[in-house]
Structure 1
């Protein structure tokens, strides 16, 4: 057949020993290491929901709020307010929450269901029948909207005759 070229032993005989520069190899190693770190952090649960509890007391009330400190879109989150008043509650309890904070959630509702619920431009007013004893627990069953990218700050107050007597502020950060 006549070209005189030797027949190679392998199809890889003419491939260079080093196909890429050392800089590309280090970039590839760094990328693999970064992916391994992300996987390790995810496996520990640090990229999921992390909740915390904030406390405040005054004006005869104690508030404890379990809320999501860090959350991700599409995940269920805890939001549970415990209100204590030594001697019990003389009548309905009005809990006031920042409406904008709760706009980032899809909700299944409040437990217990408020006797009345109203909203002005910035706040939601929940009137709850007084529980027996000196402790009221209000839970919000929700998850972060799937399209939500940014967290929000909020506040919850107990109102007596239209005046906030105690307020607790909090913030939730969202991560991808």
Structure 2
């Protein structure tokens, strides 16, 4: 005669539970918390494109730059420079930018187009015809290259006779 077999209440009755240490539980809670913080930051827009505006004056000029402070690869970004000179411009304006900063961009061009452009090992020199009035606005139509993973610091200057009269510095951070 066979012994009586017990009929299980569930197909999971014979599955062993795993022993979990408190350290594993705290590790899991920490990972979920970090993930929740990242999702929350993204939900309120802190991980998206964010522009900043910097301003300086000196040497008879005022510079105002709106640039991408935080950006992601593949997205359009603003880069707009306003140069003011009391009394207006009588000569072409030479704008100097650090070439390495602009390596992370895919460009559609400058507005207005510089009348002349040259560069040395580290900087690009753009000559812009003098605008009417006392304000020159230079726009850079661009987006961050898909292959760009790191941000860059840069500077923009107005140069007269080969000497930088005024300079603005800025940094763009790239996030995944």
Give the match for residue 41 of structure 2.
Answer: 41
Structure 1 position 8 matched with structure 2 position 8: yes
Structure 2 length as normaliser, TM-score? 0.91
Aligned pairs for 1:73-84 (under 5 A) are: 73-84=73-84
Deviation at 1:150, TM superposition (A): 1.5
Structure 1 length as normaliser, TM-score? 0.91
CA deviations 1:33-73 (Å, max 9, x no partner) are 22111111001111112211111111110001111122222
Q: Which whole-Å CA distance do the structure 2 matches of 1:3 and 1:154 have between them?
A: 84
Q: For structure 2, list consecutive stretches of 5 or more residues without a partner in the other structure.
A: none
RMSD: 1.7
Give the match for residue 160 of structure 2.
Answer: 160
Deviation at 1:2, TM superposition (A): 4.8
Q: Which whole-Å CA distance do the structure 2 matches of 1:152 and 1:42 have between them?
A: 22
Structure 1 position 19 matched with structure 2 position 18: yes
Q: Which whole-Å CA distance do the structure 2 matches of 1:43 and 1:84 have between them?
A: 38
- Are residues 35 and 20 of structure 1, via their aligned partners in 2, closer, same or farther at CA, if it must alter by over 3 Å? farther
Name whichever of 20-29 and 72-81 sits farther off.
20-29
Aligned pairs for 1:81-92 (under 5 A) are: 81-92=81-92
Q: For structure 1, list consecutive stretches of 5 or more residues without a partner in the other structure.
A: none
Q: Secondary structure at the match of 1:125?
A: strand
Structure 1 position 104 matched with structure 2 position 100: no
Q: Which whole-Å CA distance do the structure 1 matches of 2:146 and 2:115 have between them?
A: 30
Deviation at 1:115, TM superposition (A): 1.1
Deviation at 1:20, TM superposition (A): 4.1
Deviation at 1:111, TM superposition (A): 0.8
Aligned pairs for 1:107-126 (under 5 A) are: 107-126=107-126
Aligned pairs for 1:124-139 (under 5 A) are: 124-139=124-139
Give the match for residue 141 of structure 1.
Answer: 141
Aligned pairs for 1:49-60 (under 5 A) are: 49-60=49-60
